[in-house]
Amino acid sequence: MNSAWDRLVKKSRRPYKTVQHVEETEIMSNNKGIHSSLDENIEQIKDSFGNSGDLIIRSFRMGKPFSHKVASIYINGLTDKEILGTFIIERLMKDVNLSENDDPFSPSQLTTYIKEHILSITNVRDVPDWNKLFLSLLSGETIVLVDGWNHGFACAAQGGDLRAISEPTTESSVRGPKDSFTESLISNTAMIRRRIKSPNLWLETMELGKITQTGVGIMYMKGIVNDKLLTEVKERLSKIKVDEVQGSNTIEEWISDNIWTPWPTIFTTERPDVVAGNLLEGRVVIFVNETPTPLILPATWNQFFQTAEDYYLRWSMSSFLRLLRIFSFLITLLGPSLFIAFLSFHPELIPTPFLINLASQRQSVPFPIVIEALLMEFTFEVLREAGIRMPRPVGQAVSIVGALVLGEAAVSAGIVSSAMVIVVAATAIASFTIPHYAMTDAVRLLRFCMMILSSLLGLYGIGLGLIILVAHTCSIRSFGIPYLAPFSPFILADQKDSILRLPLPFLSERPRLINQLKTKRIEDSQTSSPENDNMKNQDSKKDSYEK
């Protein structure tokens, strides 16, 4: 009887055990060796690609006796044609004297010669079988095949059009660096390398997705990161056996501890400085090719209320801003539901003049307060979604319709009260102060649950909802770290950089994640007080001069 229940629970807890089965696709399963005849090889490649228009095969003869048939194969658009032309094709086609003694090179001699003397390109690899050949070809490398030799060369001449590094769009900062990640994995990791010049910054790459073969890089600081965490991350990644990995969200949903939760349990960012900071705290970062938002894990609830800007402002201001964000989080979560609870269940708790004011506003409103609130919140969500999806030139129309028609007109028509419009607007504005989009989304949904609870049971319902929410949040973990980490379990040392941010000299320890290797980040010799003795002396000298 109970085992059925247990099974149900287990099923819901470990979603990634049920691995999606994928039929072996023909392209990638071809593990046979490459033929030695060039014509056969070209035929095979053309066949496999269905003669695709962007597959370019350039075959020619090389060397003085013009006896060696060679072909260079690449995908149009993934290759830097200038490099390809100058350093591969031109070098190969140049009149190289390959037969000084009128004795043509054997294929193996020729290939060594090509590799060592001709291909003046930064990275050349042997590809022994079709699998590797196709993968390199599809990753933008140029394949060079030589007649009579059953290997190929993969030459690094990737190129094509990529988006340039631009300013971050969702996490802007006033004083901080203005670069943000792009879609290219390598240029993203390079941005981190520029920030952390340490050989201990390790990057492991792999391909995920049976068809998409998306490049994934795991980056961490060796010596700080906990090895258990690292093995756990790798194990979970290796369990992903799906056809497609489209962006980091696919990975996030497969590897996160608990997907039946409103909270985001993996942190994402588009700022390289945030990634660098998190790496130095002992977290693991997963870069995914073609995604400008790498995953940072483990994540704690607290993290979603911190921004990079907090570390570029004075500590007093950033502490204030953090408190402000938590406060507006509470407004977003509870604002409309408190309004409902007070007005429909506990009007006696509202000061009388205020109550009369509110009641007179609602005189002509035909709906019960709950319906009114849900209607307005729903309308706001619709407007928000419309604003995002609309083509930009039309976007203005949405704001006009939203502000004038739905706000002003609805009030004067007596459909909603203006107090309700104020509550909804305040909630909306407050929700924009939460710095991370994933967290805003979570609160947007939870707000509706709270509204329903409060419409059923008033303040008591809100209290129950909060207890459930806190208990649920306490029960989840992100890669072994309790999600509410510095608050519960309570860690005194981490309070310095959680709701408040104390001055940097006080932050001598990294936040406690499970068994990090190095917790101290400020050397003991560095005094924790920023006042420097030399400076003091200078001051006193100055004083004496003035005297």
**Which residues would be at the binding site for another protein (CB under 8 A)?**
2, 5, 345-346, 348-349, 351, 353-354, 457-461, 463-464, 467-468, 470-472, 474-475, 482, 484, 487-490
Helix (H) or strand (E) holding 294: none
In the complex with another protein, which residue's Cβ is closer, 428 or 457?
A: 457
In the complex with another protein, which residue's Cβ is closer, 254 or 342?
A: 342
CB of 1 to another protein, least distance (A): 8
**Cα gap 105→101, rounded to integer Å:** 10
CB of 440 to another protein, least distance (A): 22
Q: b/e string for 216-226 if b means 16 or more Cβ within 10 A?
A: bbbbbbeebbb
In the complex with another protein, which residue's Cβ is closer, 346 or 521?
A: 346
CB of 421 to another protein, least distance (A): 23
In the complex with another protein, which residue's Cβ is closer, 138 or 464?
A: 464
In the complex with another protein, which residue's Cβ is closer, 66 or 490?
A: 490
The region that residue 209 occupies, defined by phi over 0 for left and psi between -120 and 50 for alpha, beta otherwise, is left
In the complex with another protein, which residue's Cβ is closer, 382 or 468?
A: 468
Selection from 492, 537, 40, 182 nearest residue 545 by Cα: 537
CB of 323 to another protein, least distance (A): 13
CB of 265 to another protein, least distance (A): 16
CB of 463 to another protein, least distance (A): 5
In the complex with another protein, which residue's Cβ is closer, 109 or 475?
A: 475
For residue 493, what are its two tokens?
Answer: 């040392």
CB of 495 to another protein, least distance (A): 11
Which segments within 404-493 are labelled E, that is strand? 477-478, 481-482
State residue 341 phi and psi, 5-degree precision: -60, -45
CB of 459 to another protein, least distance (A): 6
Whether the CB-CB separation of 489 and 514 falls below 8 Å is answered with no
CB of 2 to another protein, least distance (A): 4
Distances (CA, A) of 190 to 456, 472, 495: 54, 39, 33
In the complex with another protein, which residue's Cβ is closer, 339 or 345?
A: 345
Helices and strands in the chain, H and E counts = 19, 12
CB of 258 to another protein, least distance (A): 12
Distances (CA, A) of 320 to 124, 326, 435, 501, 505: 55, 10, 14, 9, 19
Q: b/e string for 289-324 if b means 16 or more Cβ within 10 A?
A: bebbbbbbbbbbbbbbbbbbbbbebebeebbebbee
For residue 308, what are its two tokens?
Answer: 């990079």
Selection from 346, 342, 345 nearest residue 419 by Cα: 342
**Cα gap 146→73, rounded to integer Å:** 11
Selection from 358, 530, 377, 346 nearest residue 449 by Cα: 377
In the complex with another protein, which residue's Cβ is closer, 230 or 459?
A: 459
Dihedral angle sign, alpha carbons of residues 454, 460, 466, 472: negative
In the complex with another protein, which residue's Cβ is closer, 348 or 531?
A: 348
**Cα gap 197→226, rounded to integer Å:** 20
Q: What is the largest CA-CA distance in the chain?
A: 110
Q: Tell me how far apart the terminal alpha carbons of the chain are, to the nearest angstrom.
A: 91
In the complex with another protein, which residue's Cβ is closer, 396 or 488?
A: 488
CB of 334 to another protein, least distance (A): 12
* List of residues 6+ apart from 352 with CB closer than 8 A: none
CB of 499 to another protein, least distance (A): 10
Other C-beta atoms lying within 10 Å of the C-beta of residue 544: 8
In the complex with another protein, which residue's Cβ is closer, 402 or 463?
A: 463
Distances (CA, A) of 124 to 130, 141, 156, 157: 17, 9, 6, 10
